[in-house]
């Protein structure tokens, strides 16, 4: 009698676990179908933005692996963190020759997707006497991550990060970028987490 | 001209090591955590005491008084602290002229000049279109030379600017260059400065310490983190070994006796001492 009871209990537990897993999976699918589960780049994991990585090349898997044309990932400048520098290492190729203005002669972005605008009136005698705003043209940006790597501390302030744009992302069940990302930086988040 | 590393003082701070200063006897004062620690030339700890708030900077006056920069105040040992959250947002450097005390307020992005009793006199570095120094790194650093002139790092402009105590901009050294070691690279360098018979600076990304004459000519790359900091060209063959953690920034620097230079590695929480090599 006690053996049967134990077997019954075990069976019930297993059936319960399976049902719970199916229920969880179904709930996940329902939430995903309703756009409540989203893919997002974890900046603390992304090789282009995670601190402590030095001497690495920019990772462009978000550009090459995304199934969306031009990629659903974009570089985003968080203005509250931006230093508004005169010479921004994410905008300029800082190792290019210095021009007559005392600035690097080349831009960093291969698609010229970053715009540099002076804030206020430029001091004509000393252009360094200014703050500059850096805007990312998302129609051009393909999320290659080059600017993100150069904006990272300690070279920059880490204001530019990669983000999945939800109006572009088709929300694949198995994100092609996440399949290849060596740092597991593409994460599925609830809407609340993604926007938080 | 070359320098060699002669000493490392490590293991003395737990979470932060921010400011350095030397006195006339050559003692080294280090500000970090919520402590001041004093070392002799051999690197031995001679004294230590706690500060009321986390210490961001330290300086020693001619009379031996120790001024410690903190958030909202300057603590004086032994004396009454100067509390003024509006003018002393975060004091990341302190210096002295003959009749005044200078405090770098990194929140206000200017240097505040006070009388010896703490009466505010004037700002230095505020009279420009950006209303202060360009310090994306959050640290404003300066040093005072033997003539009483103020040499302030303005990293956003890639310069060390020279001011009178009254706040008049007298000139500057430095320029941007991402290749030539004589220039300052990145978005915002140099971050820190010290002065004796030379101008010493530190930079971040790539981290290095350098010495200049007062005309802005590079005398030496004292130390680096990467060999790439000394590219082929001006200093090929004379580049020092890599000693700094590559992720350091805001490395405080102080000039000691007989050409010795102290530099903080803010990641390793260590003080590195360098001396010029006799040619």
- CB atoms B187 and A54 under 8 Å: no
Partners of B14 in beta bridges: none
Taking residues B167-195, what's their average pLDDT?
96
Which chain B residue lies closest to A106 (C-alpha atoms)?
B178
The answer to whether B120 contacts chain A (CB < 8 Å) is: no
CB of A68 closer than 8 Å to CB of A168: yes
Q: Do A132 and A153 fall into the same domain?
A: yes
A96 touches chain B (CB under 8 A): yes
The encoded tokens of residue A35 equal 């756009």
Please answer yes or no on whether B130 and A130 come within 8 Å at the CB atom.
yes
**A76 with A133, same domain?**
yes
> A66 and A89 share a domain?
yes
CA distance B79 to B17: 24
Q: Dihedrals φ, ψ of B53, to 5°?
A: -135, 165
Q: For residue B195, give the H/E element and its range.
A: strand B192-195
Taking alpha carbons only, the member of A48, A80, A20, A70 closest to residue A185 is A48
pLDDT greater than 60 at residue B232: no
pLDDT per position as a tens digit, B80-124: 999 999 999 999 999 999 999 999 999 999 999 999 999 999 999
Mean pLDDT, all residues of chain B: 94
Sorted by where each begins, the domain ranges of chain B are 3-276
From chain A, the residues in CB contact with B183 under 8 A are 98
**Which chain A residues are closer than 8 Å to B246 by Cβ?**
54-55
| pLDDT single digits (tens) B120-173 | 999 999 998 899 999 999 999 999 999 999 999 999 999 999 999 999 999 999
Predicted ipTM of the assembly:
0.90
Q: How far is CA B73 from the centre of its chain?
A: 19
Residues A27 and A42 in one domain: no
CB-based contact (8 Å) between A124 and chain B? no
d(CA B110, CA B177): 25
Q: Are A130 and A120 in contact (CB under 8 A)?
A: yes
Q: Three-state SS for A62? A: helix
Nearest CA-CA partner of B21 in B256, B202, B208: B256
Q: Which helix (H) or strand (E) holds A13?
A: helix A2-33
- Bridge partners, B102 (sequence order): B95, B113
**Residue % of chain B over a pLDDT of 90:** 89
Q: How many CA atoms lie within 13 A of A148 on its CB side?
A: 30
Best probe of the A interface among B127, B187, B233, B245, by most A CBs < 10 A, is B187
Q: Are residues A98 and A144 in the same domain?
A: yes
Q: Do B158 and A128 touch (CB under 8 A)?
A: yes
A96 and A21 co-located in one domain: no
Q: Over the stretch B18-68, which tens digit does the pLDDT of each residue have?
A: 999 999 999 999 999 999 999 999 999 999 999 999 999 999 999 999 999
CB distance A120–B134 less than 8 Å?
no
Is A157's Cβ below 8 Å from some Cβ in B?
Answer: yes
List, in order, residues 6 or more apart from A1 with CB less than 8 Å away: none
Are A88 and A161 in the same domain? yes
Give the Cα separation of A62 and A169 in Å (integer): 12
Euclidean distance between CA atoms A186 and B153, whole angstroms = 40
Q: Which helix (H) or strand (E) holds A161?
A: strand A160-164
What is the distance between the alpha carbons of residues B186 and B191, in angstroms, rounded to a whole number? 11
Tell whether A106 is within 8 A of chain B (Cβ). Answer: no
Residues 6+ apart with CB under 8 A from B173: B159, B160, B162, B199, B212, B214, B215, B216
Average pLDDT over residues B199-224: 95
Nearest to A85 among B156, B185, B226 (CB): B156
- A40 and A92, same structural domain? yes
Tell if the CB–CB gap between A98 and B177 is shorter than 8 Å.
yes
- Its pTM stands at 0.89
Q: Are B189 and B195 in contact (CB under 8 A)?
A: no
* pLDDT for the residue A28: 56
Domain spanning B3-276, CATH class: mainly beta
Number of domains present in the structure of chain A: 2
Range of the domain at A19: 1-34
Query: Could you say which of B129, B187, B204 has the minimum Cβ distance to residue A87?
Result: B187
């Amino acid at each position: 009698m006690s053996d049967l009871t134990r077997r019954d209990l075990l069976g019930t537990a297993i059936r319960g676990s399976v049902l719970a897993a199916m229920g969880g999976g179904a709930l996940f699918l329902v939430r995903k179908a309703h756009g409540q589960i989203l893919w997002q780049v974890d900046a603390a994991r992304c090789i282009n933005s995670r601190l402590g990585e030095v001497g690495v090349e920019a990772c462009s898997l978000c550009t090459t692996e995304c199934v969306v044309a031009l990629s659903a990932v974009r570089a985003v400048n968080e203005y509250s963190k931006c230093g508004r520098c005169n010479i921004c290492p994410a905008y300029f190729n800082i190792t290019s020759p210095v021009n007559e203005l005392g600035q690097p002669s080349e831009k960093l972005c291969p698609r010229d997707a970053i715009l540099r605008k002076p804030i206020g009136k430029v001091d004509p005698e000393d252009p360094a006497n200014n703050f500059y705003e850096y805007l990312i043209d998302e129609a051009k940006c393909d999320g290659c991550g080059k600017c993100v790597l150069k904006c990272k501390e300690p070279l920059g302030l880490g204001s530019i990060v990669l983000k999945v744009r939800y109006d572009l992302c088709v929300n694949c069940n198995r994100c092609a970028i996440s399949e290849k990302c060596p740092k597991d930086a593409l994460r599925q988040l609830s809407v609340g987490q993604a926007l938080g | 001209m070359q320098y060699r590393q002669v000493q490392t003082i490590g293991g003395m701070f737990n979470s932060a090591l921010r400011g350095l200063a030397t006195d006339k006897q050559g003692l080294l004062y280090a500000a970090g955590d919520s402590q001041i620690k004093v070392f002799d030339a051999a690197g031995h700890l001679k004294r230590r005491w706690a500060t009321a708030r986390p210490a961001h900077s330290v300086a020693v006056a001619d009379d031996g008084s120790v001024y410690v920069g903190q958030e909202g105040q300057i603590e004086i040992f032994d004396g009454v602290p100067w509390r003024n959250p509006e003018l002393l947002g975060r004091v990341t450097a302190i210096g002295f002229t003959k009749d005044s005390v200078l405090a770098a307020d990194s929140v206000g992005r200017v240097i505040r000049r006070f009388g010896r009793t703490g009466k505010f006199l004037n700002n230095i570095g505020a009279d420009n279109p950006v209303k202060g120094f360009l310090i994306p790194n959050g640290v404003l650093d300066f040093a005072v030379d033997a003539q009483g002139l103020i040499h302030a790092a303005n990293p956003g402009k890639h310069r060390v600017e020279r001011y009178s105590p009254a706040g008049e901009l007298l000139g500057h050294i430095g320029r941007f260059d991402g290749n030539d070691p004589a220039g300052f690279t990145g978005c915002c360098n140099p971050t820190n400065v010290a002065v004796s018979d030379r101008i010493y600076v530190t930079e971040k990304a790539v981290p290095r310490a350098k010495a200049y004459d007062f005309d802005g000519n590079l005398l030496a790359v004292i130390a680096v983190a990467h060999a790439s900091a000394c590219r082929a060209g001006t200093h090929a063959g004379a580049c020092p070994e890599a000693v700094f953690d590559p992720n350091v920034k805001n490395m405080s620097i102080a000039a000691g006796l007989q050409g010795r230079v102290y530099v903080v590695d803010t990641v390793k929480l260590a003080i590195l001492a360098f001396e010029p090599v006799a040619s």
